[in-house]
């Protein structure tokens, strides 16, 4: 089969690989019908993710059709249409029993990282009963690709951890795909105000379309002042970091209200300064999280009930044969205005 | 009346001051029978607390007898014996309605800071109905002094914020009075293990007496390794910072388990390094808090029901006339082994 | 001044009364500009509320203008426009410190019950700082009358107690004003489905306009079957009782899903059968509550941010001189289709 | 093998049965070393549990040794010593994902109910990875039998659902084994007072030994008055029903404080009267629950850390050959003073 393979820092190749086989009774083999590219794939390609070795098939998102299942798989059978979760979960380890699937001792984020991933014609999914979801009848499968990672990530790491509540004030730093995923799922909890912060006017205009009540362009380095002005000097109840660098995290420290929460989504490569001399008496919380995908069933219910329409996060579509072009488009979002790019089988 | 007054950095004087008077209908004047000295008083004396101006009577802890009350005070009358909360609360502002008394827009930590405090013969207490507690019948008043600040601080900033739970593992960094206050109140929630970390063997031995299940002397710089060994490599569910410097906070970052919480109690004068490159995917929470004293009624119930005996936190007693000597004893705890020193009227 | 007075079972009179005076430093006198009639006022008139004695001025809802304040009132001054809470709270008793204002030992629901109420030209409001809210700039004062009681009641007793969550399924039994208040505030939490149940087709059609996703007419005694069919046999996550009789509560027992909640709002005069033989192993919760009005500040924020428009709950308007006619209109809702009737000064 | 079989109402026989075999890849066969008898087994024998058919091997508690495992079992291998959970959980259905294992669509309480149980030489355990726990090194296996059902039941249905908190007041109605299990686990949360209510002075004396702070003999029908006196007229924060009849549930209604919780543990065969006319405005919660065994890992941690000693709940021991005698002893607890009886292989 064809597969997109990490060939060492700054190198990727589309090459022929053998079709994966069942290795454990709880495995399933899924024929991929649609997948996508994540910012994390770009991190891997930069050589920033040491757990991902040269030769790995990338990708941890997608929908497809069950090709075969192990004898221990109870929920799925060949021909079933399924959504693939970016996080694999055994369901039984001490982390899974606490619903922290991200830290599953036999799973977690392994797809396209420590085992071969979804940017291929077929993929082996361990712990299939816990790591796949049946495609709901009549659901738009293209949109479902967003439920593999980006929507649960925005919701769990940003919105749930950030304790977004009716009447609250939220700032989201970073209006890229993950910031927008936080925005669209924040609205489930009816915050009174959502302030979107970014350097790019196009992205900010986009954020308005997705429901931001205010936008702040942080190019001038005065974003904190702007947020304080919008919030009458109180700051925000929830500050969501959706970039992954020290500067944006430290901006969150400046704008979080007393009693508020900084919810980190960003993948950080370096430390940040934590200004405890200013924050020790502010009654704040800071949270980090690798998505657990525990809210995927709820997100699917909301989608099936037509309570939100995340489809507009998809900006480009490519056939699998042109996946290298899809990578270029996604990597040059400033120019291409790409949010999520769909790769079709 | 006699009062202990902050006379600028590194200077304090015991001097004569006029007895305070009622200024607002919700004020009470309390005759102090016992007070104590807090680590924060030492911070003020170093000149580290800009909100506290030269000439301020220090002190924010104590018990006493109501001398007079304003016309708007409903709960207390002259002659009532009362416990003074270190935090004053109006009860009606938007922070008080969220039980964040520490950030009361007309109160908070003001005693011995922005208004005159309790290290005097009399003190004016604003918002008396919310900021005083009736001394329970038969309660030992000396021990009650610990309920003004140190016990609710250890409990709220350390134990509640740290989400200590039955079966959990807790590390407390700093075995001084506030770390011990966290220890004795952590036990209300039945953690399976409490590891106490300090540089001083005497304090660690003390911690064992107060219920620590393990102790780690961090002098060798290998405390993190020791904690990992004790916890089978998992780290602790709750890491409580009870010192107030970057090094101890950063130790907490090293020992917190995936899914765990770092609860900061320490008063910090400088920033710390937050290693987001290691923590972004660890599903942790970090909390800060100025004590709200919302748990004081519960702590008093536990005390009246003989469910804990914090009296042993008191190591020295001085008459008010010798308060300067009390300060020396408290400031030289390494030598004097002082925990809390009681000043008696 | 003119006042609507309870004159014993089934009797009410519009009569002349002396203007109320300040009795305590924390009182305010408010000149009423708008008030309304509550289902509870009808209960009183039936003689069903023994705490309300003959001679009482009725009413516990309204907006107005501060006429005078006691010396202990810090937040308001004459001329301020205010919203009156149906629940008075001292803010300092052990219930108020737990945010259970409904059970305040010096307050609770006393207006128009154990002290004179708001259906008059003036009313005395005890504990004014805690029991009044400033009218937000530019807010429609007529709509604000709904924030005295009906909106916080629907929200707290129905929606919060019922733990309405994104993706969840809700049934509300009773499509009268209080059921609709639960409906409009339930939407803050994005349930996937809200089923409204009533005997009256007009009310059900109304409920659709307010956002119900399904309606069930329970006239045929088969409402439980209908709900089970809609929910694929699972039942609802949240069943809200908004009528106040045994039959509707028992319907909630039949339709609540395993793991779900029955949130009672209704004022009950008689016991209901609790079918523990069917429910003991169903992992359900049942809650009761007198509104605490703790969510009023949030509801006001949502209103000011234009996040919901409850104004359509107002169906009729009367000048104060015609308040007896307003009572007739409200009491004959089946014929008049009245939801809330506004009485204007 | 020998097995204790339900032979229809009021009949049980000790008879020879074939050893169970693996049926599914996720099954394990466990050789029983110790089991016990539950009150529910007596209910079955009375013919009160229709889901349990004639011919069923009874028993849902026990410890043993893995005899064989299916190919899909990842955690256990033959020879491992294991604790059997009374609840079997697939781990993947929508209830299991919410940690409501009791309602697992492919499990729940099935052992000794809808499939053959543990009162035999061997038992087949479905979903072995989720439904068995490794015996901790050095743990007393006899005491571990209490962790199959009675301890998690008391803890989850009584203590967790009842929201027992430090400083709180608890009443437990019924001082039998399950009431005592609630008592010993309630102490993890440090209630200030635990009142035990029963008709039997011997059981009440026993409850004192297990940590009750007060006892009330309800023989005179005045238990509610006694509880009100002990609680200064407030009632209890948590009322735990541990009997299973209407009268004891209704007693809980009388003694629960405003803002409190009634947590039902009892297995009820009939309805109770719910006095909504008295409770509608009391801000109470009522909960029901079939144990989910989600807290079993925590309980095991507490046991291994020597934080509680439930062994004294075991009063009698019998070899398996004398299991009929064990039933007699357990069924006649009033005379034999039996709490839990251990059946040894």
Q: How close does chain B come to C152, measured CA to CA in Å? A: 15
Contact D26 A71 (CB under 8 A): no
Residue of A nearest to B158 (CA): A283
Q: Chain D within 8 Å of C284 (Cβ-Cβ)?
A: yes
CB within 8 Å of B299: residues ≥ 6 apart: B147, B151, B152, B155, B185, D167
CA B64 to each of CA B86, B298, B345, C47: distance values in angstroms, whole numbers, following the listed order: 14, 20, 9, 50
Chains that touch C (3 or more CB pairs under 8 A): A, B, D
Of A190, A298, A299, the CB nearest to C302: A190
| pLDDT average, residue stretch B16-32 | 97
Q: How close does chain A come to D294, measured CA to CA in Å? A: 8
- List chain C residues with pLDDT less than 50: none
**B299: which chain D residues are within 8 Å (Cβ-Cβ)?**
167
Residue D270: which of D239, D242, D292, D249 has the closest Cα?
A: D249
What is the DSSP code (8-state) at residue A24? S
Q: ipTM strictly over 0.85?
A: yes
What is the DSSP code (8-state) at residue D311? G
- List chain A residues with pLDDT less than 50: none
**C27: which chain B residues are within 8 Å (Cβ-Cβ)?**
none
Indicate the pTM of the whole model: 0.97
- Residue C214 to residue C171: CA distance in whole angstroms: 9
pLDDT at C185: 98
**B246: which chain A residues are within 8 Å (Cβ-Cβ)?**
276
Distance in Å from the first CA to the final CA of chain D:
12
CA B100 to each of CA B87, B107, B163, C97, C211: distance values in angstroms, whole numbers, following the listed order: 10, 11, 18, 11, 35
Residue of B nearest to C25 (CA): B72
- Residue D263 to residue D181: CA distance in whole angstroms: 14
Interface test with chain C among D233, D274, D285, D291, by most C beta carbons within 10 Å = D274
pLDDT at B48: 86
3-state DSSP call for residue B59? coil
SS3 content of chain C, % helix, strand, coil (to 5): 30, 25, 40
Tokens of A135: 């495609």
Cβ contact C286:D278 at 8 Å: no
Residue of C nearest to D162 (CA): C285
3-state DSSP call for residue D155? helix
Q: Chain B within 8 Å of D321 (Cβ-Cβ)?
A: no
Tokens of D302: 């507490």
- Our CA dihedral for B62, B65, B71, B72, rounded to 10 degrees, sits at 40
pLDDT at C48: 86
3-state DSSP call for residue A46? coil
- Give the rounded distance of the alpha carbon of B262 from its chain centre: 18
**B273: which chain A residues are within 8 Å (Cβ-Cβ)?**
271-274
Of B72, B130, B297, the CB nearest to C72: B72
Distance in Å from the first CA to the final CA of chain A:
12
**C193: which chain A residues are within 8 Å (Cβ-Cβ)?**
305
Q: Chain A within 8 Å of C304 (Cβ-Cβ)?
A: yes
3-state secondary structure D238-289: EEEECCCCHHHHHHHHHHEEEEEEEEECCCCCCCEEECHHHHCCCCCEEECC
Of D72, D90, D96, the CB nearest to A26: D72
Please state the length of chain B: 345
| pLDDT average, residue stretch B192-201 | 97
Q: With left for phi above 0 and alpha for psi between -120 and 50, is residue B288 left, alpha or beta?
A: beta
Interface test with chain C among D276, D278, D282, D287, by most C beta carbons within 10 Å = D276
Core vs surface per residue B2-28: b (16+ CB within 10 A) or e: ebbbbeeeeebebeebeebebebbbbb
Contact A307 C165 (CB under 8 A): no
CB within 8 Å of B8: residues ≥ 6 apart: B47, B54
- Residue A66 to residue A82: CA distance in whole angstroms: 7
Find tokens 């320490």 and name the residue: B266
pLDDT at B283: 98
Residue C152: which of C265, C15, C39, C22 has the closest Cα?
A: C265
Cβ contact D326:C326 at 8 Å: no
Q: How close does chain B come to C104, measured CA to CA in Å? A: 14
Contact D283 C100 (CB under 8 A): yes
% of chain B with per-residue pLDDT over 70: 100
pLDDT at B45: 96
Contact D302 B188 (CB under 8 A): no
- Give the rounded distance of the alpha carbon of B330 from its chain centre: 15
Contact C285 D286 (CB under 8 A): yes
pLDDT at B304: 96
Interface test with chain D among C102, C266, C280, by most D beta carbons within 10 Å = C280
Tokens of B57: 């009577």
Interface test with chain A among B94, B266, B276, B295, by most A beta carbons within 10 Å = B276
If contacts are CB pairs under 8 Å, which of residues 155-174 in chain A contact chain C? 165-167
What is the DSSP code (8-state) at residue A120? B
pLDDT at D48: 86
Helix axes C246-255, C223-230, angle to 10 degrees: 30
3-state secondary structure B19-45: CCCCCCCCCEEEEEEEEECCHHHHHHH
Q: Which helix (H) or strand (E) holds D215?
A: strand D214-217
- Residue D81 to residue D63: CA distance in whole angstroms: 7
Please state the length of chain A: 345
Please state the length of chain C: 345
- Residue D194 to residue D171: CA distance in whole angstroms: 6
Listing DSSP states for A1-17 in one string gives -EEEEE-STT-EEEEE-
Of C166, C301, C307, the CB nearest to A302: C166
If contacts are CB pairs under 8 Å, which of residues 255-274 in chain C contact chain D? 258-259, 264, 266-274
pLDDT at C85: 98
3-state DSSP call for residue B164? coil
| pLDDT average, residue stretch D320-339 | 96
Q: How close does chain D come to A228, measured CA to CA in Å? A: 38
Cβ contact C95:C104 at 8 Å: yes
3-state DSSP call for residue A28? strand
Interface test with chain D among A72, A87, A152, by most D beta carbons within 10 Å = A72
pLDDT at A48: 86
Burial of B54 (0-12, 13-18, 19+ CB in 10 A): exposed
- Residue B66 to residue B30: CA distance in whole angstroms: 5
């Amino acid at each position: 089969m064809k597969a997109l393979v990490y060939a060492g820092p700054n190198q990727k190749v589309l090459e022929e690989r053998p079709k994966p086989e069942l290795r454990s009774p709880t495995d399933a083999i899924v024929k991929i019908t649609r997948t996508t590219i994540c910012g994390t794939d770009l991190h891997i390609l930069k050589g920033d993710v040491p757990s991902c070795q040269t030769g790995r098939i990338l990708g941890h998102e997608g929908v497809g059709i069950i090709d075969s299942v192990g004898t221990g798989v109870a929920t799925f059978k060949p021909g079933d249409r399924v959504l693939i979760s970016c996080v694999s979960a055994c369901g039984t380890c001490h982390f899974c029993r606490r619903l922290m699937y991200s830290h599953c001792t036999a799973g977690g984020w392994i797809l396209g990282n420590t085992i071969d991933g979804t940017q291929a014609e077929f993929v082996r999914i361990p712990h299939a009963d816990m790591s796949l979801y049946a495609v709901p009848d009549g659901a738009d499968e293209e949109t479902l690709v967003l439920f593999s990672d980006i929507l649960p990530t925005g919701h769990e790491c940003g919105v749930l951890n950030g304790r977004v509540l009716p009447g609250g004030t939220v700032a989201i730093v970073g209006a890229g795909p993950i910031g927008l995923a936080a925005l669209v799922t924040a609205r489930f909890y009816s915050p009174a105000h959502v302030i979107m912060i970014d350097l790019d006017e196009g992205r900010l205009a986009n954020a308005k379309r997705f429901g931001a009540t205010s936008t702040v362009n942080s190019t001038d380095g005065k974003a904190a002042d702007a947020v304080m002005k919008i919030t009458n000097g109180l700051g925000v109840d929830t500050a969501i970091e959706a970039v992954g660098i020290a500067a944006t995290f430290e901006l969150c420290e400046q704008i979080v209200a007393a009693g508020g929460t900084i919810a980190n989504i960003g993948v950080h490569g370096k430390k940040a300064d934590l200004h405890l001399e200013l924050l020790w008496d502010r009654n704040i919380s800071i949270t980090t999280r690798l998505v657990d995908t525990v809210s995927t069933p709820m997100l699917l219910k909301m989608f099936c009930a037509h309570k939100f329409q995340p489809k507009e996060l998809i900006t480009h579509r490519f056939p699998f044969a042109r996946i290298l072009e899809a990578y270029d488009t996604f990597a040059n979002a400033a120019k291409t205005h790409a949010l999520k790019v769909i790769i079709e089988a």
